[in-house]
């Protein structure tokens, strides 16, 4: 069994390397020779994933770190990775003229990471390079995944130019002009809409493989996380009276409490076979609601007591507790406020705040429109509730902030780190180190392993074909 050595730059939590380790082709495999990462928690994850002796922790711009990478990786076969997406944020509307923009892009100090990536490639000179990045994916309006705005294309072409200037072929098979590919991870078995730019380059002088979809039907959210244990959030009571738009809740006090009780009742009904404790919670909450929903005074105080009762029951019944299985240790909901919980409950599955505030939409809801707490002159899709029967939206590192764009299809909370991990196609037993926010960041920034696997297998096939050509040359010589 021959193994190609891989250097993973900007390795993060190990999504790319996980995919490459899963790739197989006849008698060829990959081994992660080294992974370079600067973040403490991500490095801990990598050490657990590939072994601490293979992880180089440090800043790629520092000479000592760069020297360590070069000295330990001079014989690697593949370099994979992509500088953080901020590197390519320069392709804005103020930039015009391809030559001028390219020169400014090359000279801009904010492109340090970009430059150091290619410096390592030029010194180590592996047979293959894979460059992955987000530019043009998250902000692109067109539904056509094969089209990018002109200025965005110029940035990507610059990357290809850089690779070709140091001896790499970026041309894609069956095309005279294409040098990069825009792919959607959902087309490769990842239960998530995630568009990315992929550049595969080689130093063998041959065309690079085109990545073609390997699934007939896209995996949906239910397929990925539908069988996980129910998790309910703790609801914050601190400074409840100061919560923005709490007055809307108080003006609709009885209705809000009934919404809360009804949703928990529906949850208990849907998940009864999985967790009978939900019925105990639902019945208790229903009784509490009936006793306080007609209160006319001190509503905030009564609501606080009610929520504290709910929190105690969720804790006592273990509905947001760590599972006895290590693999579910990160499957816990973050804390939410009562206003957001009500918004989660009333938003229709597959809908969002932009729609429930739009009077022309079938999803319009006057109460939710009044309850929405954010400025409406910037963006209105702050809350997004996912669908069971579709792939999830792009999992983002921004989940560490609040997760409001990642509301569970029928549980009143946002996705847990473990759910985000599965939606990114990480293995079920993959462990992320660090606190919840650190986990969200690693998961959101990762290359989905299943996409990495497809890329890895394409390279292994290319290597196998090249091996055959070399053998024929030796026989004929």
Mean pLDDT of the 425-443 span: 97
**Whether 103 and 198 share a structural domain:** yes
- pLDDT of residue 314 exceeding 50: yes
- pLDDT given for residue 244 in this prediction: 97
**Whether 269 and 296 share a structural domain:** yes
Tokens of residue 262, six digits: 């009804």
Whole-angstrom CA distances from 116 to 46, 67, 87, 113, 310 are 21, 12, 12, 5, 53
**Whether 202 and 239 share a structural domain:** no
Distance CA 107, CA 104 (A): 5
Distance CA 234, CA 91 (A): 42
- pLDDT given for residue 98 in this prediction: 53
- pLDDT of residue 425 exceeding 80: yes
* Contact present, 442 and 42 (Cβ < 8 Å): yes
Give the percent of the chain with pLDDT over 70. Answer: 87
- Cross-sheet strand order for the sheet of 195-202: 55-57, 28-37, 2-9, 78-81, 128-133, 195-202, 181-184
Q: Which residue among 351, 368, 387 closes a domain?
A: 387
**Whether 205 and 235 share a structural domain:** no
Distance CA 309, CA 329 (A): 25
Active-site annotation holds for 85: yes
**Whether 369 and 337 share a structural domain:** yes
- pLDDT given for residue 115 in this prediction: 83
Distance CA 193, CA 175 (A): 26
Task: Please write down the HEC assignment for all residues of 43-105.
Answer: HHHHHHHHCHHHEEECCCCCHHHHHHHHHHHCCCCEEEECCCHHHHCCCCCCCCCHHHHHHHH
Q: Residue 50: which of 4, 1, 8, 3 has the closest Cα?
A: 8
The catalytic residue among 43, 73, 85, 160 is 85
**Whether 254 and 374 share a structural domain:** yes
Task: Report how far apart the first and last C-alpha atoms of the chain are (Å, whole number).
Answer: 26
- pLDDT given for residue 100 in this prediction: 64
Mean pLDDT of the 314-324 span: 80
**Whether 248 and 204 share a structural domain:** no
Per residue in 159-208, pLDDT (tens digit) is 899 999 999 999 999 999 999 999 999 999 999 999 999 999 999 999 99
Residue 196: which CATH number? 3.40.50.150
Q: By mean pLDDT, which of 36-40, 138-142, 446-450 is the weakest?
A: 138-142
**Whether 287 and 361 share a structural domain:** yes
Distance CA 153, CA 156 (A): 5
Q: Taking all residues of the chain, what is their mean pLDDT, rounded to a whole number?
A: 89
- pLDDT of residue 141 exceeding 50: no
Per residue in 87-103, pLDDT (tens digit) is 444 333 333 345 665 56
- pLDDT given for residue 87 in this prediction: 44
- pLDDT of residue 304 exceeding 90: yes
CA angle 7, 11, 14 (to 5 degrees): 105
- pLDDT given for residue 137 in this prediction: 32
Mean pLDDT of the 109-117 span: 70
Q: Residue 392: which of 185, 145, 230 has the closest Cα?
A: 185
**Whether 165 and 113 share a structural domain:** yes
Which residue(s) pair with 6 in the sheet? 32, 78
Q: Which residue among 387, 419, 436 closes a domain?
A: 387
Q: Which residue among 335, 363, 387 closes a domain?
A: 387
Q: Is 321 among the domain residues?
A: yes
- pLDDT given for residue 84 in this prediction: 76
Q: By mean pLDDT, which of 5-9, 169-173, 352-356, 373-377 is the weakest?
A: 373-377
Q: For the beta carbon of residue 295, count every other beta carbon within 10 angstroms.
A: 15
Distance CA 393, CA 138 (A): 11
* Contact present, 206 and 128 (Cβ < 8 Å): no
Q: For the beta carbon of residue 71, count every other beta carbon within 10 angstroms.
A: 8
**Whether 310 and 327 share a structural domain:** yes
- pLDDT given for residue 140 in this prediction: 32
Which residue(s) pair with 183 in the sheet? 196
Distance CA 137, CA 196 (A): 6
Q: Is 354 among the domain residues?
A: yes
Which residue(s) pair with 223 in the sheet? none
**Whether 26 and 130 share a structural domain:** yes
Per residue in 10-31, pLDDT (tens digit) is 999 999 999 999 999 989 999 9
Q: Is 316 among the domain residues?
A: yes
Q: Residue 412: which of 325, 320, 324 has the closest Cα?
A: 320
Which residue(s) pair with 5 in the sheet? 31
Distance CA 27, CA 49 (A): 23
* Contact present, 415 and 399 (Cβ < 8 Å): yes
Q: Is 20 among the domain residues?
A: yes
How many Cα atoms occupy the beta-carbon half-sphere of 78 within 13 Å? 28
When pLDDT is cut at 50, 70 and 90, the band that residue 142 belongs to is: very low
| H or E segment and range at residue 250 | helix 246-251
Q: Is 439 among the domain residues?
A: no
Q: Is 425 among the domain residues?
A: no
Crossing angle for the helix pair 253-270 and 299-316, nearest 10 degrees? Answer: 10
* Phi/psi of residue 56, nearest 5 degrees: -110, 115
Under DSSP, is residue 414 helix (H, G, I), strand (E, B) or coil?
strand
Number of compact structural domains in the chain:
2
Per residue in 250-272, pLDDT (tens digit) is 999 999 999 999 999 999 999 98
* Contact present, 118 and 83 (Cβ < 8 Å): no
Q: Residue 257: which of 185, 218, 306 has the closest Cα?
A: 306
Boundaries of domain holding 18: 2-220+449-476
Whole-model pTM: value is 0.90
**Whether 182 and 119 share a structural domain:** yes
Q: Is 103 among the domain residues?
A: yes
- pLDDT of residue 333 exceeding 60: yes
- pLDDT of residue 148 exceeding 90: no
* Contact present, 50 and 14 (Cβ < 8 Å): yes
How many Cα atoms occupy the beta-carbon half-sphere of 415 within 13 Å? 36
Residue 71 vs residue 466, higher pLDDT = 71
Q: By mean pLDDT, which of 36-40, 325-329, 390-394 is the weakest?
A: 325-329
- pLDDT of residue 415 exceeding 80: yes
- pLDDT of residue 288 exceeding 70: yes
């Amino acid at each position: 069994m021959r193994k190609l050595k891989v250097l993973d730059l900007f390795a993060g939590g190990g999504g790319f390397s996980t995919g490459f380790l899963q790739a197989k082709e006849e008698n060829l495999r990959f081994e992660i020779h080294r992974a370079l990462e600067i973040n403490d928690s991500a490095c801990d994850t990598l050490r657990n994933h590939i072994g601490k002796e293979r992880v180089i922790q440090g800043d790629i711009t520092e000479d000592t770190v760069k020297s360590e990478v070069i000295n330990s990786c001079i014989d690697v076969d593949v370099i994979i990775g992509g500088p953080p997406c901020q590197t390519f944020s320069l392709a804005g509307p103020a930039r015009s003229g391809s030559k001028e923009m390219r020169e400014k892009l090359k000279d801009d100090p904010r492109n340090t990471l970009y430059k150091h990536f290619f410096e390592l490639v030029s010194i180590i000179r592996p047979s293959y390079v894979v460059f992955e990045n987000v530019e043009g994916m998250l902000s692109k309006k067109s539904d056509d995944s094969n089209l990018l705005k002109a200025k965005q294309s110029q940035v990507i072409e610059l990357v290809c130019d850089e690779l070709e200037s140091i001896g790499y072929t970026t041309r894609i098979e069956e095309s005279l002009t294409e040098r990069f590919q825009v792919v959607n991870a959902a087309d490769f078995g990842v239960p998530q809409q995630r568009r990315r730019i992929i550049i595969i380059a080689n130093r063998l002088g041959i065309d690079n493989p085109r990545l073609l979809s390997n699934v007939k039907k896209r995996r949906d959210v239910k397929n990925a996380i539908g069988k996980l244990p129910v998790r309910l959030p703790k609801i914050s009571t601190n400074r409840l009276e100061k919560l923005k738009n709490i007055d809307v809740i108080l003006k609709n006090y009885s209705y809000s409490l009934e919404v809360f009780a009804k949703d928990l009742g529906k949850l208990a009904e849907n998940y009864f076979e999985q967790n009978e404790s939900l019925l105990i919670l639902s019945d208790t909450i229903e009784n509490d609601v009936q006793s306080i929903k007609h209160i006319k005074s001190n509503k905030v105080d009564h609501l606080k007591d009610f929520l504290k009762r709910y929190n105690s029951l969720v804790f006592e019944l273990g509905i947001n507790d760590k599972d006895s299985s290590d693999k579910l240790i990160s499957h816990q909901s973050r804390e939410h406020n009562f206003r957001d919980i009500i918004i989660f409950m009333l938003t229709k599955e597959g809908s969002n705040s932009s729609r429930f505030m739009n009077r022309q939409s079938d999803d319009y809801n006057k109460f939710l429109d009044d309850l929405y707490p954010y400025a409406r002159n910037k963006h209105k899709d702050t809350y997004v509730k996912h669908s069971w029967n579709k792939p999830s939206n792009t999992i983002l590192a921004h989940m560490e902030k609040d997760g409001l764009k990642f509301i569970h299809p029928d549980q009143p909370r946002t996705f847990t780190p473990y759910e985000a991990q599965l939606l990114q196609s990480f293995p079920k037993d993959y462990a992320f180190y660090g606190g919840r926010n650190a986990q969200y960041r690693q998961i959101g920034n990762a290359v989905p392993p299943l996409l990495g696997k497809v890329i890895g297998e394409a390279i292994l096939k290319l290597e196998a074909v090249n091996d055959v050509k070399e053998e024929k040359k030796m026989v004929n010589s």
